[in-house]
């Protein structure tokens, strides 16, 4: 039981972690683009809003003809799920930087790049990072669906519990998903505070 649980939990974290990294790589620049290019903002935010409402299980099944079965459709579906909270929060965070602060930076003779790195990023960081925490918990909870496409994870234990009426497996799977999501949220909260203190 323990080895099955740890294998499933590691696989689960692997899927969610890969998706989260990919989502951060895509979502943060997209959010920054939405915040700085007003022409782009409505389209990007509308797409993100729709992306949040799509049921992940449907996205997963729609990806099968393109990506086959296994880890890749699972990671892509989870990435698509994790991008919207990042885009929305990064956009809000950057646009939330007070204009007076930006004017002051300009007045101090900062270039655009200097202003972005030394003023905008530190001020926008807490809200943007909160988007990552939301994305992380959503991704970890949704990675249970990976079991349907042969990508493993804790969903394996949940499905085993359902198929064979094995409540121990069901509780072990569901409890671990909840614990991982909670743990990731707390860990990211800690990391966020450390980074905030440094910036």
42 touching another protein, by CB under 8 A? no
Choose which of 137, 154, 160, 176 interacts with another protein (CB under 8 A).
160
Neighbouring residues of 38: CB distance < 8 A, sequence distance ≥ 6:
none
The dihedral of CA 38, 112, 48, 129: what is its sign?
Answer: negative
Query: Should residue 156 be labelled a site residue for another protein when binding is judged by CB under 8 A?
Result: yes
Cβ contact 173:156 at 8 Å: yes
The answer to whether the beta carbons of residues 135 and 90 sit under 8 Å apart is no
By rule CB under 8 A, what string of x and - marks binding of each residue 58-87 to another protein? ------x---xxx-----------------
Q: Is residue 177 a contact residue for another protein (CB under 8 A)?
A: no
**Residue whose CB is less far from another protein, 142 or 147:** 147
For residues 130 and 170, which CB has a smaller minimum distance to another protein in the complex?
170
39 close to 101: Cβ distance less than 8 angstroms: no
Quick one: which of 13, 137, 152, 184 contacts another protein (CB under 8 A)? 152
Burial class (CB in 10 A: 0-12, 13-18, 19+), 197: exposed
**Using CB under 8 A, which of 96, 150, 175, 190 touches another protein?**
150
What is the binding site for another protein (CB under 8 A)? 64, 68-70, 147-150, 152, 156, 159-160, 162-166
């Amino acid at each position: 039981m323990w080895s099955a649980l740890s294998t499933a939990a590691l696989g689960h974290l692997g899927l969610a972690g890969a998706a989260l990294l990919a989502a951060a790589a895509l979502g943060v620049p997209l959010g920054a683009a939405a915040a700085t290019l007003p022409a782009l903002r409505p389209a990007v935010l509308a797409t993100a809003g729709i992306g949040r409402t799509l049921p992940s299980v449907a996205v997963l099944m729609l990806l099968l003809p393109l990506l086959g079965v296994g880890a890749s459709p699972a990671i892509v579906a989870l990435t698509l799920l994790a991008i919207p909270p990042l885009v929305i929060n990064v956009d809000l965070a950057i646009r939330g930087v007070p204009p007076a602060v930006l004017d002051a930076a300009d007045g101090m003779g900062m270039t655009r790049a200097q202003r972005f790195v030394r003023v905008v990023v530190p001020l926008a960081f807490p809200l943007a990072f909160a988007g990552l925490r939301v994305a992380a918990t959503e991704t970890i909870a949704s990675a249970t669906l990976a079991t349907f496409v042969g990508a493993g994870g804790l969903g394996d234990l949940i499905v085993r519990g359902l198929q064979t009426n094995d409540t121990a497996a069901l509780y072990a799977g569901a409890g671990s998903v909840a614990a991982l999501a909670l743990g990731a949220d707390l860990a990211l909260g800690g990391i966020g505070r450390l980074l905030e203190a440094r910036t």
